[in-house]
C-alpha cells in the first residue's frame, strides 16, 4: 500500500513574467540569494550541489532546466534524510506565481511543520522582494 504524507501548498505572486522568474531561479547558485535554509553553495558536480546547511553540508540535487517551470529538488541532509521539494513557476496574468509543496516528514510535530511552512513563506517573500526590485 502506498504511503502519503500530509502536505501544504505555499505560493507567492511575483510581478515579473514567468520566464524572468524561472530564468533567475533555474541556476542552482541563485538559491543562495533567497533560500535561507540552503545557505551558500560550497561546490557542485553537474546537477548535484553542496550547500552550507543549518545542520552541516547538505547535498541538493536539482531538476534540469526545462520548458515547464519545474524547479523540483531533493535535499539530502547530513543525517541521511532526503527531502523532496517540489516547486513550480507558473504564469499568472502578466506576472507569475511560485508554488512550493511542503511535506510533513514522519515524526514531525505540528509546531515544526508550521515553523517550516513559515520559513518557506519567508524565503518566497525574499525571492519576491529581490525579483521585484530588479
Radius of gyration, alpha carbons of the chain: 15
Q: How many domains does the chain have?
A: 1
For residue 33, what is the DSSP state? G
Look at residue 60 and tell me if it is in a domain.
yes
Nine cell digits for residue 97: 506565481
The CATH number of residue 75's host domain is 3.30.530.20
Look at residue 32 and tell me if it is in a domain.
yes
Query: Which residue from 72, 41, 36, 42 is spatially nearest to 54, judged by alpha carbons?
Result: 36
Torsion of CA 114, 62, 90, 105, to 10 degrees: -20
Per-residue pLDDT of the chain (134 residues; tens, 9 = 90+): 878 999 999 999 999 999 999 999 999 889 889 988 777 777 888 778 888 777 778 898 999 999 999 999 998 888 888 999 999 999 999 999 999 999 999 899 999 999 999 999 999 999 999 999 99
Q: What is the pTM of this model?
A: 0.90
Name the residue range of residue 58's domain.
Answer: 7-133
Q: Could you tell me if 111 and 105 are in contact, meaning their C-beta atoms sit under 8 angstroms apart? A: no
Gap between the Cα atoms of 83 and 61, Å rounded:
10
Q: Could you tell me if 70 and 78 are in contact, meaning their C-beta atoms sit under 8 angstroms apart? A: no
Look at residue 97 and tell me if it is in a domain.
yes
Amino acid at each position: 500500500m502506498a504511503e502519503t504524507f500530509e502536505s501544504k501548498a505555499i505560493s507567492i505572486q511575483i510581478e515579473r513574467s514567468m520566464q524572468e522568474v524561472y530564468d533567475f531561479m533555474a541556476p542552482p547558485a541563485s538559491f543562495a540569494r533567497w533560500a535561507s535554509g540552503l545557505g551558500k553553495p560550497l561546490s557542485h558536480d553537474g546537477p548535484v550541489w553542496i550547500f552550507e546547511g543549518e545542520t552541516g553540508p547538505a547535498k541538493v540535487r536539482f531538476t534540469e532546466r526545462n520548458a515547464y517551470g519545474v524547479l523540483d529538488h531533493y535535499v539530502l541532509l547530513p543525517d541521511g534524510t532526503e527531502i523532496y521539494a517540489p516547486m513550480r513557476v507558473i504564469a499568472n496574468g502578466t506576472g507569475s506565481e511560485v508554488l512550493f509543496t511542503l511535506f510533513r516528514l514522519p515524526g514531525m510535530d505540528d509546531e515544526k511543520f508550521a515553523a517550516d511552512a513559515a520559513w518557506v513563506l519567508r524565503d518566497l517573500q525574499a525571492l519576491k522582494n529581490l525579483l521585484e526590485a530588479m
